[in-house]
Chain A
Amino acid sequence: MMKSRRSFLKISGACLLGLGVKPVLNAFAQAERMEIAPNPNALRAGRWALVVDITKCRDDCTDCINACNRAHNIPDLGRTKEEVKWIWNESYEHAFPGVEHEFVEERVKHQPFMVLCNHCDNPPCVRVCPVQATWKREDGIVMMDFHRCIGCRCCMAACPYGSRSFNWTDPRPYIPEGRMNPDFPTRTKGVVEKCNFCVERLAKGLQPACVESCSSGVLTFGDLDDPNSEVRKVLGERYSIQRKPELGTRPRVYYIL
C-alpha cells in the first residue's frame, strides 16, 4: 500500500513538473512566430482623443449611435437592466453630475450628450482586471480581450463613467435582423465589452464609425501628441470640459459646450 502510494505521488509529481515546464518551452517556441505586416494606410497616433462639439449636435439625431451599433454588432436586448451600450445619450446633469446647476443655459440643459468610454490615460478598469483582459495600447486606446475576460466585472465597479457593459446573456440572438457586420466579432455571454475607438477601422486607415457617420461636424478625432492635429486645434481654440476630471483618470473625450 505504502509503496503504491509513493509511486503514485512520484508519477503525479512528474506530471505536474511537466505541466509546469510546458509554458517555458512554449515561450521558446514563440521566437519563431509569424509577424503580420500592418496596413501601410493605418492611422497612427501618440494618443488618440475625441472632441465632441455639442453646440453642433442635433437633438433628434442618433447617427453616431446607429453607426456604432451597426459596426460592432451591438445587441438590442430591449431590457434596460441588461443593456449593452457603446455610445449612448445622457442629459447634461447625468453626464456631468456635480457640474450642473439650476441656472445653466437652457440649451445645454435639454441637449443630449453622447457618452462613451473615455479611454482614460490612467484607466481604473485596467488597474483592477485580474487577467489583463483589458489593457491600454501605446496610442492610449483602452482595449478588451473578449476571449480572455472571465466576467468578474471588477472593471465595471471600477469605471467611474459607467462605460462598460456585461453580456448577461448570449447577445447573438438579439443582433437585429440584417444588421450583422461580418467584419467584427460578436460576443458571447459572460464577458465585458465597451467602445474601442474603432481600432479595427483605424487599422484600415478609416476614422471611427461614429465620427464618419456624423454629418454635422460634431466629432473630431485625432492625435493629442501632434500639435497640428485637428483635435489640438479645436481644444486650443475653444473651452472644453471632461467628465469627472477630479478622479485623476484623465479622460480622453472632451466636450465643447
Chain B
Amino acid sequence: MLEKAFYGSRSYYAWILFLLIVIGAGAGCYAYQLVDGLRITGMGRDISWGLYIAQLTFLVGVAASAVMVVIPYYLHNYKAFGKITVLGEFLAVSAVTMCGLFVIVDLGTPARAFNLILYPTPNSILFWDMIVLNMYLVLNIVIAWNVLSAERKSTPPPGWVKPLIYLSIPWAVSIHTVTAFLYAGLPGRHLWLTAILAVRFLGSAFAAGPSLLILLCLLVRKVSKFDPGREAIQSLAKIVTYALIASIFFVGLEFFTAYYSQVPGHIHSLEYLYFGLEGHAKLVPWMRISALLAIVALVFLVNPATRRNEKTLAVAAALTFISLWIEKGLGLVLAGFIPNPFEHITEYSPTAPELMITFAIYAIGLLILTVLYKVAISVKEEAA
C-alpha cells in the first residue's frame, strides 16, 4: 500500500520537498547541538526542561485523542466515525513519533539512550512513559494498517485486530496519565504537584486532538475526492466542545485551590503565568491570549449556529488548538520551574537552533502524517 505515497500532484511533491528542507535544516542544528551540548538551547540550571519536553507533553495529548474516534466507533458502533478512525489512528502515529523524537533531542547523552532498556527501572516514570508510548505507537500502526488493508480488499479486518483495538482504548488514556505523572509526583514543584494534572491533561488532549482532526478532515475533503462526512465532523465538534469546557473548568479549579488557600507556593507559578511575578512576565501575554482564544472558541462551539457552520467551526477548532498548545506546550512545563527551589526567578526563551530543531521534528511528524494520509485517502478513493 505504501507505494501510493509516491503518486501525487505537483503541490503534493512541493509540500514534501518543503518538509524535507525544514528537516534538513533542523538536522544541521541538531548536529551542532550534538557537538556543543545542550548549551545551544535556552535551558539552564533553573529551567532544565524547555521547549522540547513541553512539545512532548502537548503531543502526547494529540496522540491520546485518537481514542475519541475509536471509542464511539468500536464500542458504540457509531458508524459515522468508520470513515475517519484510520485518520485518527494515523494522527496518533505521527504524534507519538514526534514525542519520541523530542525525548531523544532533549537527552544530554543520546548515545546512551539504550540505557533506558538495559537498566529497566520500574520506579521511574520516564521508564514507563517510554514503554507506554512505544507500545501505543505499535498498536496504532498495526491496527490502522490492517484495517486499511482490509478495506482495500473489501474484506473485514482479521479477527486478531479486534482485541488490539480494545486494548488501545485504555492504552491511550495511559499514555497521557503516565506523562502527567512525570510532573505530578515531584516534591517542591507546586504548579505540577496537583492530583488533577492527569485529568487536566486528558481534558485538554480531547479538545486539542479532535480540533486538529476536524481541520485535517476539512483539508482532506478540499484536496482529495474523499469526504470524511459532515456527520463525523459535527460529532468531533461536539467532543471538542465538551472537552474544552472540561479543560477550562480544570484550570479554574487550580486557581480556586491556589488563591482561596492563599498558600504562596501554589499561587506563585499561576501568578507568574497570568499576572507576572516580581516584574517577570514573559509568558503573561501568551497565557492571556490562550485564555482569550479558549473563550472565543467556546462561544463559537457552544452556539449551535456557529458550530454547524463549517467555516466558523474551522476557526473555533484552530483557536482551540492554538490556545491549548500555549497552555500545555508552553506555559505548564516552563512555569513549573518558575520560581526555582530557591524562589529565584529565571526566565526562559528558546534559541534559534532550538526552535529549528523543534520545527524539524514537527516537519518529520507532518511528513509521516502526509504519507500515511496519502495512503489512506488513496485507498478510500478507490474503495468509494
Q: Interface residues, chain A, CB within 8 Å of chain B?
A: 80-83, 85, 90, 93-95, 97-98, 124, 127-133, 148-154, 156-162, 165-170, 188-192, 244, 247-249
A130 & B45 in contact (Cβ 8 Å cutoff): no
- Report which of B186, B340, B342 forms a contact with A124, defined as CB distance below 8 A: B186
Q: Which residues of A contact B118 (CB under 8 A)?
A: 131
- Report which of A82, A150, A247 forms a contact with B115, defined as CB distance below 8 A: A150
Q: If the complex has contacts A82-B44, A150-B116, A190-B37, are A94 and B344 also in contact, measured as CB distance less than 8 A?
A: yes
Let me know if B119 is at the binding interface, CB within 8 A.
yes
Q: Interface residues, chain B, CB within 8 Å of chain A?
A: 36-39, 43-46, 48-49, 103, 106-110, 112-113, 115-116, 118-119, 121, 123-127, 130, 182-183, 186-189, 264-265, 336-337, 340-344, 346
- B292, chain A: closest CB distance, angstroms: 30
B125 & A128 in contact (Cβ 8 Å cutoff): yes
Q: If the complex has contacts A98-B264, A131-B116, A167-B37, are A151 and B107 also in contact, measured as CB distance less than 8 A?
A: yes
- B203, chain A: closest CB distance, angstroms: 23
B108 & A82 in contact (Cβ 8 Å cutoff): no
- A28, chain B: closest CB distance, angstroms: 18
- Report which of B36, B121, B188 forms a contact with A132, defined as CB distance below 8 A: B121
Q: How far is the CA of A160 from the CA of B193 in the complex (A)?
A: 12
Q: Look across to chain A and name the residue whose beta carbon is closest to the beta carbon of B348.
A: A81
Chain B interface helix/strand/loop/mixed: loop
Q: Which residues of B contact A249 (CB under 8 A)?
A: 187
B108 & A130 in contact (Cβ 8 Å cutoff): no
- Report which of A132, A157, A244, A247 forms a contact with B119, defined as CB distance below 8 A: A132
Q: How far is the CA of A160 from the CA of B341 in the complex (A)?
A: 6
- Report which of A128, A130, A244 forms a contact with B130, defined as CB distance below 8 A: A130
- B119, chain A: closest CB distance, angstroms: 5
A95 & B342 in contact (Cβ 8 Å cutoff): yes
- Report which of B37, B46, B344, B346 forms a contact with A189, defined as CB distance below 8 A: B37
Q: If the complex has contacts A98-B264, A154-B124, are A191 and B186 also in contact, measured as CB distance less than 8 A?
A: no
Q: Which residues of A contact B115 (CB under 8 A)?
A: 131, 133, 148, 150
